[in-house]
Chains A and B, each alone.
Chain A
Amino acid sequence: MPIVINLDVMMAKRKMSSQELAEKIGITQANLSILKTGKAKAVRFSTLEAICEVLDCQPGDILEFRKDL
């Protein structure tokens, strides 16, 4: 899929652990892992909104479109 999730990059920038982020945005660690590894088929706007709020970033910082993939 040409959509890449750069969640781990943003988490590293904000120095936030997976457990902490999962708790703050209200999803399980397993689901966060699915999101980070790019196995997710879709992301709800509510989840994206929570991630952006917690990590203080824009959706474009997390989602990236790469044509070559």
Chain B
Amino acid sequence: MKKKFNVYCTLLLLAFAICQFADPTSGFRDFVRGFNEGFESAGNETESPDSEEMSIFLEPNHYAIHPDTLINTVNGEKVPASIQAVRIYPSSLKADSVYNITSSVNMFIGFIVALSLVWTFITLITSVNRGEIFENQITRNLSRLGVFLLIIYLSEIVYELNLYFHLKSQFAVEGYRLIQYAGHNNMYLYTGLALLAIAQVVKMGKEMKDEQELTI
């Protein structure tokens, strides 16, 4: 039973590490792009362009009116279109100290919480392997994991809001409005709340175990 538990926990840790610290798809994409740009700039003997791009998400001010048109190349007909996102270079934006400080603090908190999360999870695994299952320590660790996940979720939302207001102050397109980038992961919220609930179940199990032990 412990073997299965350990296998699942190891898989979970690996998945977390991959998702948090090394997104394999974006890492590979960045590598290929960097290689190509470096190759081109070496051949042309020109400076490589700013490779860091970011997306700004847009939606038309009026849903019924499409501010743009595209040409259907089959029949040459104009078709209404709406731009959903534009790509910009962050270096072209003005420096904003409030944005920089807030995003740095947010990133720092997220990093510390992610490390604490891993540490607490490892403590949880070792406790369970020692046979301490229905114990106060497990309840505390599960609750901590839940709270850490909720903090990461909130930190993502704060980052998005911060970015949204930073961009809104410097970027506007006629006929469109900026929309908040909804890239936060709701799974953090669900998992965090689920862990808090499981912690309460373990707490109840501990109370039942105590009661059983005090049955003479």
Which B residues lie within 8 Å of A47 (CB)?
216
Range of interface residues on A (Cβ < 8 Å): 10 to 19
Nearest CB in chain B to that of A31: its residue: B216
Residues from 44 to 69 in A contacting B, C-beta threshold 8 Å:
44, 47
**Count of chain B residues near A, Cβ 8 A:** 5
For A39, the chain B residues whose CB sits under 8 A away are: 214
Interface residue SS majority, chain B: mixed
A4 at the interface (CB under 8 A from B): no
**Interface residue A9 (Cβ < 8 Å from any Cβ of B):** no
Once bound together, how far apart are the Cα atoms of A35 and B216, in whole Å? 7
CB distance from B148 to the nearest CB of A (A): 34
Per-residue interface assignment for chain B, residues 192 to 216, with 1 indicating a CB less than 8 Å from any chain A CB and 0 otherwise: 0000000000000000001100111
Residues of A within 8 A of B (CB): 27, 31-32, 34-35, 39-44, 47
Q: 12 additional contacts, CB 8 Å, given A39-B214, A43-B216, A47-B216?
A: A27-B216, A32-B216, A34-B214, A34-B216, A35-B216, A40-B214, A40-B216, A41-B211, A41-B214, A42-B214, A42-B216, A44-B215
